[in-house]
Amino acid sequence: MRSDNTTALEKNIMTEGSIQKKLISFAIPLFLGNLFQQMYNAVDSFIVGNFEGKEALAAVSTAGNLIFMIVGFFNGISVGAGVVIARFIGARDDENTEKAVHTTVALGLIFSILMTIIGVGLTPVFLTWMNTPANVFPESSMYFRVYFAGSLGLVMYNVLVGILQASGDSKNPLKYLIISSVVNTLLDLLFVAVLGMGVGGAGLATAIAQLLSAVLCFIRLVRSKEVYGIVPKRIRLDIPMVKNVFRFGLPSGLQNSIMSFSNVVIQSFINAYGDNAMAGIGAYVKIEGFVFIPVNAFAMAIATFVSQNLGAGEYERTKKGIRFGMFCVMIAAEILGLLLFIFAEPLVSVFIKDHDPEVVAYGMMRSRIVTLFFFLCAFTHFMAAVLRGAGKPMVPMFVFLFCWCAMRVLILFVAEMFIHTIYTTFIVYPVTWILSSVTLFIYYRRLKFDKDTHYGM
């Protein structure tokens, strides 16, 4: 048991002090971290699209949804582990905090091996399922396999950042992400622009940079004297704690994979329209990712805030924090959505070599349909984070399973029977955002935050 556990931990704890200040001060580093993470992802597309052309950009875009379908599952487990750790920290339960931390690290190492085997071994099968065009298939396969060969850095970074964020520390992960983002950009330029390694070079640059960020997080936690610090010899699976982590994390992991699976299905429909559609919509999606950075930051902040405060029995404080966060994410999402609606054409053009008008047109088509409904998507993500923090991860999982997976796939297949148009792949998003928002709002209105309500654990 560590004795010096009141310095940084007490400074970062979210159960005391101004709600607005605590949430914003925690969310700002997460916002900046997500910004660099998105830049991290966009750099590959920008450099590949401008130096290698639209076929290479289409290859990277195709791989993106498929990658997150696998990565999202393991990241969801990490999110669940973070909820467990935050709950124990909020309750000042040092013994279980230490067990949860070391069990989470052990699980991360196991997941790294599994993801490497799945990602590298099944690449051709996945790309075939997605109707990947023959002229894009070889480069997509190369990018995918190189990317997943670096699964250790990818998984362990998310696991270790989850531990730091559960403690209320969002500043150090930001520092490490900035360093790795700079390294990724420099390596992208070296491997792709200078050495001409193509999409394989972009994947290798990302793998190296991710491993660096994971190493920096690990060093930080090993050197920490706080209760959530890592002692390497204690890294092992505690079976009761594994059950706790999976109870909270498995629904989040399945939710991420379900969302990504629906996107993979949608991508397979987009692929049928050729590499112009794949490249243009892929470029737009990279830009859209920047819009949801503040939403993701507040969602991550509110999950930790809710979990810590429920662990401490601060029920009224929990409700006030939720109201404040909800207002922030919905306003931010809609303002940024309107800006994207206005400036979609020049932004998409940045990713396209010679600003190919046919490629750019596809990106603009999607922006005109979905951007005005971003506040609904933001509400859904925020409510899902609230419920995960409250120990109700099964609810958002089933909502996403029905609304964002089953309904999207059903709508696409039914629509395709009557009319063959790419606009269907755009319209399906706001329709299902409306459905998920209404469902989660009804459930949340019935949820009571008091000592008589069971929140898991």
Residue with more model confidence, 271 or 239: 239
Residue 436's CB is within 10 A of a number of other CB atoms, namely: 23
- pLDDT-derived band at 428 (thresholds 50, 70, 90) equals very high
Most confident of 229-233, 251-255, 272-276, 430-434: 430-434
Is residue 422 predicted with pLDDT exceeding 70? yes
Amino acid 5: pLDDT:
43
The pLDDT of 312-321, averaged and rounded, is 86
CA distance linking residue 375 with residue 351, whole number of Å: 26
Say what percent of the chain tops pLDDT 70: 87
The DSSP result for 335-402, as a single string, is HHHHHHHHHHHHHHHTTSGGG-HHHHHHHHHHHHHHGGGHHHHHHHHHHHHHHHHTT-THHHHHHIII
Residue with more model confidence, 9 or 155: 155
State CA 67 to chain mean position distance.
Answer: 11
pLDDT digits (tens, 9 = 90+) for 68-125: 666 777 777 877 788 788 878 877 888 888 998 999 999 989 988 888 888 788 878 8
Is residue 9 predicted with pLDDT exceeding 60? no
The pLDDT of 413-424, averaged and rounded, is 86
Mean pLDDT of all residues in the chain?
Answer: 82
- pLDDT-derived band at 170 (thresholds 50, 70, 90) equals confident
Is residue 304 predicted with pLDDT exceeding 70? yes
pLDDT digits (tens, 9 = 90+) for 368-385: 999 999 999 999 999 998
403: Cβ contacts below 8 Å, ≥ 6 apart: 432, 435, 436, 439
Is residue 4 predicted with pLDDT exceeding 50? no
Amino acid 380: pLDDT:
94
Amino acid 301: pLDDT:
86
Amino acid 3: pLDDT:
41
Residue type (1 letter), 262: S
Amino acid 308: pLDDT:
81
Q: How far is CA 62 from CA 278, 300, 321, in A?
A: 7, 27, 38
Amino acid 6: pLDDT:
46
Question: What's the start-to-end Cα distance of the chain, in Å?
Answer: 21
State CA 42 to chain mean position distance.
Answer: 14
Say what percent of the chain tops pLDDT 90: 19
Amino acid 111: pLDDT:
86
CA distance linking residue 32 with residue 85, whole number of Å: 23
